[in-house]
Amino acid sequence: MSSEGLVHYAESKVRLPGDPLAAVSRLAAGGLHEDYVVYENSGQWAFASGVLADVRLDRTGARLYGVNDMFLPWDGDPLRQVRRLLEAVQVDSWRAYGWAAFELAYAKEGDLTGVGDERLLHLVVPHTEVRVQYGWAHVRSADKQTLAAVLAALAQEPAGPTRSSRPVDVRREGAEDYQRAVKLAVEEIAAHRFQKVILSRVVPLAQEIDLVGTYVSGRRGNRPARSFLLNLDGVEMAGFSPEVVIHVDEDGRVVSQPLAGTRMLTDDRTENQRLRTELLSNAKEIYEHAISVKTACDELHTVCTPDSLSVQEFMVVRERGTVQHLASRVSGKLARGRHAWDAFGATFPAVTASGVPKAAAYASIRSHEGQARGLYSGAVLTVDASGAMDAALVLRAVYRRDGTTWLQAGAGIVEQSRPEREFEETCEKLDSVARYLVPADVSADRTSSVG
């Protein structure tokens, strides 16, 4: 790319001795720009605000808006189109932040079955960005005035505690319908249509939720692999991802971290150890995990050099919020000519949120869930001009769109599954968010209603 016409960030680096969670959440609540993304990745926190470049994908094609505009009509290879648009972004050393919907799984192979008019992917290169690591905040912005405003905000004293959370009971409804769907899926598996499918259920939330406050409260109560908070063109969510779909370093090293197999976490250490032992010895959970790891290996084999593939960890236990999971780590090195988007395409959606084999699982999901998943079991991701990528699986989240707020969770169904246990597993996962929901501040409305 020619350097002529490139947008360059104004930059500064300052010491940030306080809590990075408090700092990035304060920026998110501060209203610097309407659109923002907060993303936590292995000790680095990022706050991306405003839009210099905007990439969107739907069934008609891929569009780039901002410092330069392009449109690529649908050609059946949408991830290649997204990559082309990002390569055309006229911003020096850009990093893009955003999300991919679950239904991108159908479209990425050229199949528009099951894809409506909704966005499949939305990425932004921010106007202003803050990255916090090792007690330092690296701030950059497209204009010096905003840079100074962010530096001033970071220098402020941390705000007081957020309002108290108000837990929601996720066991009060939906059990009968979900257990019926699980029973039918088990019958499909017994008929050899597929080996595993993840079926989810939705819990609508009637109360207004403070997503920033919920993010802070939930992050303090969870130990996620990644966490995120975003508002992009009216699509909002806050979540605590237990799993990485794909991580690609600048040098092409690829890592995927499948999690499958679940038991709850309690306040009783002895009971947790009992459940951990049960998890590590349960035939159904071990089988569910093993076929997920094999699928992850098979997928990376299509984009990595064969001799580089390895399972660095196998079936260790990871604690994630209110549950503990069986976890493995599969890694490899991208083959010559392959890119991060190839690795993303090979592994998305995560096998632990779709099924085995994936194509047959998709059909079951569409049949039993009855509505598009959208953000749920998609990905929140960052993509760098250097070729690096990090994509977190969107689970353990609260979602808001078009005035509707909801929770969603699923369970892995195999032939040995019992409907009652799978429903309970969804509840255990939902509690990772439901316990930490912070109601929105409606005091002004209450005052006006009192008169």
Catalytic residues: 243
Task: Label each residue of the chain as H, E or C.
Answer: CCCCCCECCEEEEEECCCCHHHHHHHHHHCCCCCCEEEEEECCEEEEEECCCEEEEEECCEEEEEECCCEEEECCCCHHHHHHHHHHCCCECCCEEEEEECCCHHHHCCCCCCCCCCCCCEEEEECCEEEEEECCEEEEEECCHHHHHHHHHHHHCCCCCCCCCCCCCCCCCCCHHHHHHHHHHHHHHHHCCCCCEEEEEEEEEECCCECHHHHHHHHHHHCCCCEEEEEEECCEEEEEEECCEEEEECCCCEEEECCEEEEEECCCCHHHHHHHHHHHHHCHHHHHHHHHHHHHHHHHHHCCECHHHCEEEEEEEEEEECCEEEEEEEEEEEECCCCCHHHHHHHHCCCHHHCEECHHHHHHHHHHHHCCCCCCCCCEEEEEECCCCEEEEECCCEEEEECCEEEEEEEEEECCCCCHHHHHHHHHHHHHHHHCCCCECCCHHHHHHHHC
